Structure formats: structure tokens, C-alpha cells
A = this chain, B = another copy of it.
Amino acid sequence: MLLLEEKIRKEGQVLPGNILKVGSFLNHQIDVDLLDKMGEEIHRLYGQSGVTKILTIEASGIAIACMAARHFGVPVVFAKKSQSRNIGGEVYSVKVESFTHKKVYDVVVAGEFLSAEDRVLIVDDFLANGKALLGLVDLVRQAGAQVLGAAIAIEKGFQGGGDLVRSLGVRVESLAIIEQMDGGEIRFR
């Protein structure tokens, strides 16, 4: 998606450790108008697939998931990164290691919000090593629901997670794929 690639080129900052900082529009400050256009593009990609629910993970996936869901007219469910006092009852749960925070989280979804009838689109802001995405796929399958695919804002192609998940037969559509960002210069696939 050209508009997103231009925004990344203009405002993204490459930090040591393969970190791409896009806090000015995606995961600290949010450019709601840009996210709405990204939501429209996600709908163009998956609008014919019969999506009944969009699944994301807190915190920074929530904005893009909501802006996409508006175009689909379906609810969002966001997986939580630790078991809250407020969840209770049956939960689907998986352990996920965060690339950014170097921590292992329990990622949970309450059983009542994913059912075997659901056709789920997974939406997230970043795809790096693929662990969060595989965790979300696992949660959907625990519910007996169908994973239609994933829509990602920014995939760090050079970290291999996207290709790994694709090789497992899951459709993955990323709005921007970074092939390389060594030395601070960003090259898209």
C-alpha cells in the first residue's frame, strides 16, 4: 500500500536491534485517517471471505482492528496479554514471546467471544518473527473456529515470520513489507 510505504519512509525511524519506530502514526500516536484507509484496503483484500469476527492483540493492534472492522461491520475481539480479574470462565490461552519487550506473555481470549461458527480475520500492526500471529492462530483453532487469514500493517520481511506463517498454509496479507532496513535505509519488498 503506497500511502503506508510513503508514511513509513517519511516518519519511520530505524533503531538498533531491528526496531522500527512508527510511534508518530501507528502505535503511540495514531493517524486515524491513515488507519481508516488501511482498514478500507484490508476490506478490499478480505471483504469477500465471509469474515464474522476480527481478532487482534492488545494494545497497538486494537486501533487498526477497529478501523478495519468498521468496513466489515463485524465485532473486534482483542486478546489480552495476561489473565485479567475480569475475564473469568472458560478461556483460550497461549504463551507468546514479544519481540519488542523480550517477555513471555499469557495471551488469552474469553471462551464466549470465539465460537466454532466464527470465520476469523486476524489483524495486527506488526509481523516480525511471527510468534504473536501463530499464537492468535492457535487461539482461533482452540475455539474450533476458522482462520480466514491475517492482515498486517507492517511486516518485517527480513525476520521471516510472515513467510513461515504462509508456509503453514495461512493467508497473510501485509500492507507494507520491509525487505531490508540495515543502515537506516528502508527497502520494501
Contacts and interface: CB of A to CB of B under 8 A. Distances in A.
Given A63-B62, A66-B66, A86-B15, A75 B32 contact: yes
Contacts of A25: 75
A154 interface: no
A69 interface: yes
A116 B87 CA distance: 39
A84 interface: yes
A25 B33 CA distance: 23
Contacts of A78: 28, 30, 59
B80 A28 contact: yes
A171 B27 CA distance: 28
Nearest to A112: B24
A32 B100 contact: no
Contacts of A86: 15, 19, 21, 23, 27-28, 100
A100 B100 CA distance: 26
Contacts of A35: 66
B84 A36 contact: no
In this complex, the member of A27, A36, A78, A88 whose beta carbon has the largest number of chain B beta carbons within 10 angstroms is: A78
B70 A84 contact: no
Interface string A50-82: 000000001110110011011001111110100
Contacts of A88: 15, 21
A113 B75 contact: no
A182 interface: no
A29 B32 CA distance: 20
